[in-house]
Amino acid sequence: MQSDVDVFIIQKQTTLERYTRSKINIDFFDYLERDNQTPVPLQEAHNEHTKSRDILLKALEKYSLTYKIFNLDELSSNNICYYNDKCKNSGLNPKLKLVISLGGDGTLLHASHHVGGDVALLGINSCPAHSVGHMCPVVPNDIEKAIGCIVKKEYSTKSVRRIKLEVSRKQILPLALNDVLLCNRHPAATSRYQLGIFSSNFTKEFGSEKQLSSGLWVSTAAGSTAAISSYGFQKLDLLSSQILAAVREPYTPRNESLQLKQFSIDGDEKSLLFFSRMRQGLVCVDGPDSCAYLGFGDTVKMSLPKECAINLVLDFFGKVPLFPIDNG
């Protein structure tokens, strides 16, 4: 999306906004009461987020930077497409080549789907007391300092690898910054598929296996602290080219030993091929909101090309405290 503004901001909708101020068929306050909750923490989180937004907008205005701001729903309603490395004008393309995510890690993951390799992504944790922000190094008190460093070009980025997914039905999926889940559409149904390890260009096969399970997790280095960490994988360096894979609840009716139950591969050399043996399969990217359906014989190629990496703003040359990201 070409634009004449300096910066795009992608912000989260707070729980209070999403469930109490929109038209949904639920009495959310009644739910809170029955769950022995009060709306006070939600109001506090909402207030903290809006305060952070005000600080950010004032900082941008202080430095005479123009901007457009969207929440996640507005990205869809404005037909803002995913970034595609094969489509020159895809994704968000502001003049300063900067997109700001205002929320937590979930917001940053959604924002990353619309950001290409020549645009930097800065994560601001708008309410650290209520939100997880492993990839959001800036907290509210340091927003103005961070924007000042952006203007003065006193910052650096790290090129973090993303998984590229190519689905045989030509369904459009974003690049995965965190992880991918491949499974049956119904959680009570068995996921049936064949998993193969191939060369990076898919011309040579190194091994494959038919599997029955609850699904398959595939993760990047950035996602090594997320769901796949429950399988015993160690946290990877953010710049690692490793792809992690783990089978969820494998089922072996004849007590076979799965060869590809849990493993890692070098994404510079190898890729994965998922062959669906399901009538109703599903592939989800970075959570439940970016999905594609799979049928019998559909395939999903998963690779880690360098040109699909994203540039995360993670350092301000010591001028802004970084929290909680470890840049070591």
Residues 153 and 183 in one domain: no
Alpha helices for the chain (secondary structure H): 15-20, 28-34, 40-62, 72-77, 105-112, 143-151
Residues 147 and 229 in one domain: no
CATH number at residue 222: 2.60.200.30
Nearest to 218 by CA among 249, 268, 176, 257: 176
Residues 257 and 211 in one domain: yes
Identify the domain containing residue 40 by its residue range: 7-161+309-315
Please report whether residue 94 resides in a domain. Answer: yes
Each residue's pLDDT, cut to its tens digit, for the chain (328 residues) gives 657 899 999 999 888 888 876 665 568 888 888 888 888 888 899 999 999 999 999 999 999 999 999 998 898 888 889 999 988 788 999 999 999 999 999 999 999 999 998 999 999 999 998 888 889 999 999 999 999 999 999 999 999 999 999 999 888 999 999 999 999 999 999 999 999 999 999 999 999 999 999 999 999 999 999 999 999 999 999 999 999 999 999 999 888 899 999 999 999 999 999 999 999 999 999 999 999 999 999 999 999 999 999 999 999 988 888 765 543 3
pTM of the shown model: 0.92
Alpha helices for 162-293 (secondary structure H): none
Residues 264 and 297 in one domain: yes
Please report whether residue 110 resides in a domain. Answer: yes
Residues 32 and 126 in one domain: yes
Residues 168 and 144 in one domain: no
Residues 106 and 150 in one domain: yes
**Rounded distance between C-alpha atoms, residue 261 and residue 213, angstroms:** 10
Residues 88 and 118 in one domain: yes
Number of domains in the chain: 2
Check if the beta carbon of residue 239 is closer than 8 Å to that of residue 267: no
